[in-house]
Chains A and B, each alone.
Chain A
Amino acid sequence: MAFSNLPAAIPCCCPTLFFLAGGLAAAGYGLKEYRLVKKIEDTPTSKIRSAAVGLVEIKGRARCKDILASPVSGVKCAYYHVSAEYLHRSKNSDNWITFYSDSSSKQFYMEDDTGKMLLDPAGGQVSIKPDFSSSGNLSGKALFGLIDIKQLDKKVLDFLEANPTIKAAFQQHSGTTIRVYEYYIEDGDELYALGTAEPIPGASSAIGNENLLLHKGRGEGYMLVSDSQESRIVGSRKTTALISLGAGLLMAAAGLLGVLLSLSVLAL
C-alpha cells in the first residue's frame, strides 16, 4: 500500500469523515437514550414511605416547598422553565435558535399515598409539556413599521418590561419572529420521577419520607422528571433512541465505508 498517498486522501475523505463523526454522535445519543429507557423499564416503582437509598423511581403529585411564581404567566408553581427562540432564516433551511432560557433552581416535594420526598431537579431532565406559548414579533410591526404583524402575547411584553436585561436580549432579534415557551409544575400535578435517592444530611434515618433527597447521582447519574405516564415516556424515548441509534450506525457505517474506499482507491 502506498501510504505516501495518505495526505492526498485527507481532503477526499473529509465529507465521509463528517458523515462518520455525525453518525457516531447520533448513535451515541441514541445509545444514551436507550440506556435511560432500559433504566426506566428495569426499575420497579417504589412507595415513597419505604424508598431506599440508590436509584429510585416514584410516581405521585408535586408539592411546593417554596411557592414560586412562573415568570411570564405568574402562576403559583413548584418549578418553572422559560425559553425564547428566534427564527434564523438561511438559504437552505429555517432554524429556531434558543437565545434565552431560565429555570427555577428550587427543590420541591413529590407526594404519594404513603409520604413525601424532596426532589432536586438541578442538572436533570425536566420533561414537561409547555403550559404557555406565544410567537410573534416584539413590536408587532415589520418593514420599517409599515406592516402590522402578529405581536408577542401581552404577558410576554409585560414580563420584558419588568426585566430590562432580558428585554435587551429580545431586542437583538426584534426583526425576526420570536417564540416563547413557559413550562411549569403546579402544586398537585401528577409526576413521574427517576433519580438517585440519598439521605439528607442530618436526617433522622435513611428510609423514605422526608429523610431522602431525589437528585441526579454522581457520575452517570439519572434524574428525570416528567408529567407523562411511564409507558408514554418509554414509548416515545425508545422510538427516538432506536431511530437515532439505527440512523447513526448506518451513517457511521456509510462514512467508514467511504473512508475505506477513498483510502483503498488512493493506495492502489
Chain B
Amino acid sequence: MAFEVALICCGGVFIGLLALLVFYLFSVYNGLVSLRNNIDKAWANIDVLLKQRTDLIPNLVETVKGYMKYEKQVLTDITALRTSIMGAQGPQETATHSEAISAALKTIFAVSEKYPNLKANENFLKLQEQLSSMENQIADRREFYNDAVMLYNTRIKSVPDSIIAAMFHFTESEYFKAAEEEKKAVQVKMGG
C-alpha cells in the first residue's frame, strides 16, 4: 500500500512539474511573439508618417521651385531621395534615406530665409509647419521603435529565452538607424 501511495504522490509531482514547464515554455513563446508584434506595430507607425512626409515633398518642391532659382540642385536631390525611399528595403536602408531627406528639408528651410517672398507664402509656411511637426513625430517614433527592438533583441539573446527563440526562429531585428557607410554613400550622391 505504501508503494502505491508513493507512486501516486510521485506521479502527481511529476505531472505538476511537467505542467509548470509547459506553462513556462508557452509564456516565454507568447512573450517573444508579443515583443515581435510591438516592433511590427512600431514600424507601421513610423511607416505611415514616412509615407505622409513623402507625399508632401512634391508639393514643397512645386511651391519653392519658382523662388529658389539658384538652389535647383537641392530640389533635384530631394526628389531623387523621395524616389529612393519608396524603394528602400528594411528599417536600416529606410533610415538612411529618411535621414538624408531630413537633412535636405533642413537645407531647404534654411535657404528659404534668403527669400522673403517665399517666407511670406502661406502655402510654404503651412508645408513647413506640417513637415516640421512630422519630423518631430518621426524622431519620437524612431526612439519608440528602437526601444522595442532593443527589448526584443535583448530577450532573444538572454538565457533561457534564447533557447525558445532559436527553436522557433526568432531572429534579431534591425534598428531604425542608418549604417555609417550607407549614410556616406547617400551624402556623396546628394552632393552630386
Contact = CB atoms under 8 A, between A and B. Distances in A.
A114 interface: yes
A50 B138 CA distance: 8
Interface in A216-268: 249, 253, 256-257, 260-261, 264-265, 268
B137 A46 contact: no
A264 B8 contact: yes
Contacts of A32: none
Contacts of B35: 42
A45 B147 contact: yes
Given A42-B34, A207-B137, A256-B12, 14 more contacts: A50-B45, A50-B137, A52-B45, A114-B136, A208-B137, A249-B20, A253-B16, A256-B16, A257-B9, A257-B12, A260-B8, A260-B9, A261-B5, A268-B4
A256 B143 CA distance: 49
Interface in A34-68: 38, 41-47, 49-50, 52, 54
B38 interface: yes
B140 interface: yes
A253 B143 CA distance: 45
Contacts of A50: 45, 136-137, 140-141, 144
Binding site of A, secondary structure by majority: helix, strand, loop or mixed? helix
B140 A268 contact: no
Contact of B148 (A41, A44, A49, A249): A44
Contacts of B1: 268
Contacts of B45: 50, 52
A46 B8 contact: no
Contacts of B41: 52, 54
A199 B6 CA distance: 60
9 contacts: A43-B38, A45-B147, A47-B143, A49-B136, A50-B45, A54-B41, A114-B136, A253-B12, A264-B8
B52 to A, nearest CB: 10
A257 B9 CA distance: 6
B34 A44 contact: no
Contacts of B143: 47
Contacts of A42: 31, 34-35, 38, 151
A42 B28 CA distance: 12
A259 to B, nearest CB: 9
A103 B38 CA distance: 33
Nearest to B145: A44
A264 B5 contact: yes
A54 B140 CA distance: 16
Interface string B1-44: 10011001100110010001000000000010011001001100
Interface string A11-46: 000000000000000000000000000100111111
A45 B35 CA distance: 14
A47 B143 CA distance: 9
Nearest to A263: B8
A42 B20 CA distance: 22
Interface string B62-82: 000000000000000000000
